[in-house]
Amino acid sequence: MKHLKNIAVLVMAVLLLSSCGSDYKKTETGLEYKFFVQNDGEKPNVGDFITIDMLYGTVDTVLFDSKKIPDGLTFPLDSPYYKGDLFEGILMMSKGDSASFKVSADSFYLIIARAPAVPEFITPGEKMTFEVKLKDFMSQEQKQMQDAAALETMKHDAEVQLKSYLEESNITTTALESGLIFIEEEKGSGRQPKIDEMVTIELVVNLLDGTKIFSTVDRGEPFEYQYGQKFDTDGLEEGVGMLRKGGKATLIVPHHLAYGAEAKGQTIPPYATIVYEVELLSMRSKEVYDKEREEQQAEMAAQQEVRKNSEKSLRDKYLADNGITVTPTASGLYFVEIEEGTGTQAMAGNIVKVHYTGKLLDGTVFDSSIERGQPYEFPLGKGNVIKGWDEAIAMMKVGGKATLVIPSDMAYGERDSGTIPPYSTLVFDVELMDVQPVQ
């Protein structure tokens, strides 16, 4: 298979090379063109949707081949961007035509591709060759009609799929007036949620074919939102409103209560039926919710203040317990040299490679390149790492080893980072593996 692929690439290259010969004609604007197949038929207009096969490249390199796209490229035909461009050539073609066009590589990249610069492999003044077959074209009105017909087919197919799903799953529950199919799996107790209350739910979202879209169960955290402030589909909102605390239900939401003709990314197609598994865990008023949030934020702020005020005493105790007596740098960094390096001195702007283990003062390891088996590489002095690292690594030579005690204001400060709490002094055991100048 690999050999066939290589042969295909070779054939394409030969086509490009053969196109570089003579027999090209030139328009008044300077576009060079040669037809392999030319019909005397209707030609596309600017704004029409065209479908083409296209291969292009330089004298010795194939840069793109649309034959990897089964149905070809379809896009609206623009008016020429400059005299002698590719679009001028396509406007000369009829359905079924095949032609070769030579255009300025500089202009193609800078004007049509809108690249910030011409690629280095392009020689100034070089021409690019485009092999184009015009497979079909249609007006904007025809394209809209085609798209509408395709959507109508998708809608019909989706409705057939829903009917088959209900039959195969032996679901006989009658749909509500809205079209929602509400299947109660477990009765709840108490009342139903009120508009603007904060509700907490477990939620699993699937398509009819079983494709999972989202799951609070998988992420290990329920979802909380303000009921009545729709965050997903009308069908989900209606279904949640029918539940009581502790209640569970399966909601089968047809497309008109879901996303309709709109696709959602690559996962949810137009006219998709959505299946929700939902459990109502709790309800509380917005006022209670806001008060709890304020209390939580106040508690977090108090905890952060305690951490901030205790950081120095905890750091001093760590230094004393570990016999670290070095004088900190002006920034507050403690640099404990374990083994002096004998290689190149690291300097700002170098690309450095470092092995490290990062720990909290209590010994908790939060990261280790050694465990990953891959040194960490970064440009020194460019702010790509915490300040303590930029300062410390610049004090080392290749082969050197050191322990760094880095105060929070040289690390993550008041922010938490994964398992690192706010206002944490960090300890790193580091080894400088390599230093390279920027290429």
Catalytic center residues: 356, 366-367, 386, 412, 428
Beta bridge partners of 367: 358
Name the residue among 385, 351, 355 with its Cα closest to residue 368: 355
Task: Give the phi and the psi of residue 405 in degrees, each rounded to 5.
Answer: -110, 110
What does residue 49 show for φ and ψ, rounded to 5 degrees?
Answer: -90, 125
CA 102/CA 20 separation, integer angstroms: 9
* Nearest residue to 42 (alpha-carbon basis) of 85, 103, 88, 91: 91
- All residues at 6 or more sequence positions from 200 whose CB lies less than 8 Å from its CB, including other chains: 222, 223, 224, 280, 281, 282, 283
Residues 65, 132: Cα–Cα separation, whole Å:
10
Cα angle, residue 298 at apex, residues 295 and 301 outer, rounded to 5°: 150
| DSSP codes, 287-354 | HHHHHHHHHHHHHHHHHHHHHHHHHHHHHHHHHHHTT--PPP-TTS-EEEEEE---SPBP-TT-EEEE
Residue 22 phi, psi (nearest 5):
-90, -155
The span from the first CA to the last CA of the chain, in angstroms, equals 38
Look up residue 174 and give its two tokens: 């009658």
DSSP, collapsed to helix, strand or coil, labels residue 270 as coil
The SS3 call for residue 56 is: strand
